[in-house]
Chains A and B, each alone.
Chain A
Amino acid sequence: MTRFRRYARDHAVPLALLSPAVLVILLVVLLPLLFSFYTSFSNYRLIRPDSLWDWVGFRNYARVLGDGDFWSAFGRTVLFLTVALNLEMLLGLGLALMVNRITWGQRTMRTIMMFPMMFSPILVGFQFKYLFNDTIGLVNNALQSLGLASEPIPFLVDRWLAFAAISFAEIWMSTSIFAILILAGLFAMPKDPIEAARVDGCSNWQVFRHITLPFLMPFIYIAMTIRSLDVARAYDIVDVMTGGGPAGRTELLWTLIARTAYDDARMGRANAMAYFSILLSIFFTWFFFRKLMAARRHLGAF
């Protein structure tokens, strides 16, 4: 006790200065987290406030563990993450490399490249819902007018086409995040190693593979970390385009959780699902962070 008192006395000013920040974090982050964690052990329903005190132990977690629909949504979210992140990375890298070569009008190109990021995800969802509609959609109309299809293609219904459609929308909106971050990396890149490599007779591919890419990897992993958190909680675009359906074919974790929490009002169970989902975000953050560290070490040794 005396040690604590002495510590408090010696560090009174820093502690006092830090306390508002600690207090705010406690109130804004920790309390809601604790509350939602508690409700995941209760039968809490929004429409019955008194059910907050209806303690059900691990029932919500046990049911989530045995819920096939939840685990298919979980698997689909992982697949969605993998597809969206990899394609965004490849397209972003290609875009950045091309824009980097432009000598005239590069600033305008960079601004234009950022346009998709400026739209609200809900609007992007409506835009692609209309484009891919089976009867009045632009894509179907174009395909039929060009004689490439005789019957409407149900883009938002077919299992894989619907998945491709939501992935396309997500990739369309966010590829530029990768492009911008990778472009920043390209700008910061020293020219000497590349020139030295060229003097030594390296081909373009060898220069890219052994010099440019390793240098860009930390930037790519930062973009991956940020985007993995974004995509893991993807909701708006999917909700507008398909609502997770039909028959759960495009159901992602957050469309399922939001429906359980608000439409069904089963907040306790939804929170149990959410805690499983957080594990996914933590895993991807940890994974990319480790990759980032490795890439940096590699760069240091370079």
Chain B
Amino acid sequence: MRQLKIALFAAVASCALTLPAAAADGEKFDGYTLRVKLIGGAQYEPLYTLIPQWEKATGAKVEVISRKSHFELDREMKQDIASGNIDYCAFSSHTNFAPQYAVMNQPLDDLIAADTIAGFAPLVISHATVNGELMSLPRHSDVSNLFYVKSLYEDADNKARFKAEYGYDLAPPETWAQASDQAVFFTAPPNRYGTHFAGKDEGIAGRFYEMLVAEGGALFDDDWNPTFNSEAGVRALNWFVDLYSKKAVPAGTTNYVWDDLGLGFATGNVAFDLDWAGWAAFFNGADSKIGGNVGVALAPKGSSGKRTGWSGSHSFSITKQCDNKPAAASFITFLTGHDAQMLEARTGLLPTRVKVWDDARAEFTAKGDSFMVEVFDVWGQSMAEHAFTPPLIPEWGEIANALWPKLQAAILGDMSSQAALDEAADEVREVMEDAGYL
């Protein structure tokens, strides 16, 4: 991971030198110090190497008063809201969690020019809009598709054995039922497992949610009554339960979250991995044991014919308490500008500006990087046609927290899928009652 970090920084430093040193609109904020809270982590840091360019162009200084992981930052901002101590101007947000920060979040409609907003993909802008107001500028999007180890799928012996056992050709799965067959087929513990999944926190809640949608279910009905303990819900949860009981995933998968999954897949111990595009360059690079041997495919379909596509976007917001909103607006516009997004797109992070999709793809094509071209094609299609967010309400975090311990209980065999979902539905109902929906 450290090597990856160093490699990323080196790549960014070399790119940064070639980028034009200009802020988006040429505004000046001489002598002003902009206080910001930013999300930290290997995938997110390279963008911040561009901040000195904005400082140079505007005459302002940026003081990063907090740089933490998403969940730590989330806790910190909730405490800021509770204590009323919001002495900063801009912060990293996420479209799926932004509704929680409504008390401190400045709507951007009057601060960001309409033609700037028009440069973003309309679907992503709609995800960043809460109650008709634009709450953040999307930085990059997340949606998961399938990474798989090519050599396993191309192996003639594997193909023959799979066909004999399951009666259809071995190819990257088109449905989650096929994915399940293949996971069991490829499993040979302790050296290889078919797949793995995020097994705790919002990770498993989100994975269940997208499977629920793909199975034709829904979290809530129109009146916010929980409906995920339906037949579709049980089918969705059983996908995880079956793989766990057949030992086609590592036993510790219920403790895994994103880094465990990404690093685990890169060791080559897993046949396929549903994961975020931000890992693409790393998986296929020199630091990965499967570098050059990675294929990508659209996330499979559930029994309803719909593909999984739990999505959301990392974004930047401005606080209502900010004493220089134009400066903050200029800053977040700069960090979500064309050049900034190109920088992130080179590592596989999905741009939110339409033009960056085309330009990044053209750049990969020119460099002959057919893997990244394929990644952009697959994820581009996914973002355009299959992506959906959880309900954009402040309670999403609480709902996820009510869900995941029960999902784990079913996966580990402590209770049946139906009982687990029924108990979770009772808890979620209580959350919705307390929040005034029911």
Contacts and interface: CB of A to CB of B under 8 A. Distances in A.
B269 A135 contact: yes
B412 A144 contact: no
A75 interface: no
B190 A47 contact: no
A267 interface: yes
Contacts of B429: none
A69 B397 contact: no
A113 interface: no
Given A157-B412, A242-B255, A245-B255, A47 B100 contact: yes
Contact of A46 (B78, B200, B406, B412): B78
A134 interface: yes
B397 A151 contact: no
A47 B394 contact: yes
Interface in B239-272: 250-252, 254-255, 264, 269
B255 A156 contact: yes
A47 B81 contact: yes
Contact of A157 (B102, B254, B405, B430): B254
Interface residues of A, number: 32
B367 interface: no
Contact of A134 (B103, B251, B408, B409): B251
Contacts of B100: 47, 265
Interface in A155-173: 156-157
A137 B19 CA distance: 43
A267 B82 contact: yes
Contacts of A264: 397-398, 401
Contact of A247 (B79, B398, B408, B430): B408
Given A48-B103, A49-B103, A133-B252, A263 B82 contact: no
A214 interface: no
Nearest to B102: A47
Task: Classify the secondary structure of A's interface with B.
Answer: loop
Interface size class of B (residues with CB under 8 A): 35 or more
Contacts of B401: 259, 263-264
B199 interface: yes
Interface in B379-405: 394, 397-398, 401, 405
B270 to A, nearest CB: 10
A249 to B, nearest CB: 8
A185 interface: no
A63 B84 CA distance: 29
Given A152-B190, A263-B401, A135 B103 contact: no
A135 B78 contact: no
A246 B255 contact: yes
A49 B408 contact: no
A79 to B, nearest CB: 18
A151 B190 contact: yes
A241 B103 CA distance: 34
Nearest to A59: B434
Interface in A40-87: 43, 46-49, 63, 69
Contact of A154 (B200, B251, B394, B397): B251
A216 to B, nearest CB: 40
A249 B415 CA distance: 13
B408 A47 contact: no
A248 to B, nearest CB: 5
Interface string B324-341: 000000000000000000
Contacts of A248: 405, 408-409
B68 to A, nearest CB: 13
Contacts of B357: none
Contacts of B101: 47
B201 A151 contact: no
Contacts of B82: 46-47, 49, 267
28 contacts: A46-B81, A47-B394, A48-B394, A49-B81, A49-B84, A63-B430, A133-B252, A134-B250, A152-B250, A152-B251, A154-B251, A156-B255, A157-B254, A243-B255, A245-B254, A245-B405, A247-B412, A248-B405, A248-B409, A259-B401, A262-B75, A262-B78, A262-B79, A263-B71, A263-B401, A264-B397, A265-B78, A265-B100
Interface of B: 71, 74-75, 78-79, 81-82, 84, 100-103, 189-190, 199-201, 250-252, 254-255, 264, 269, 394, 397-398, 401, 405-406, 408-409, 411-412, 414, 430, 434
Interface of A: 43, 46-49, 63, 69, 133-135, 144, 150-152, 154, 156-157, 242-243, 245-249, 251, 259, 262-267
Given A47-B102, A157-B412, 4 more contacts: A49-B81, A49-B84, A157-B252, A246-B411
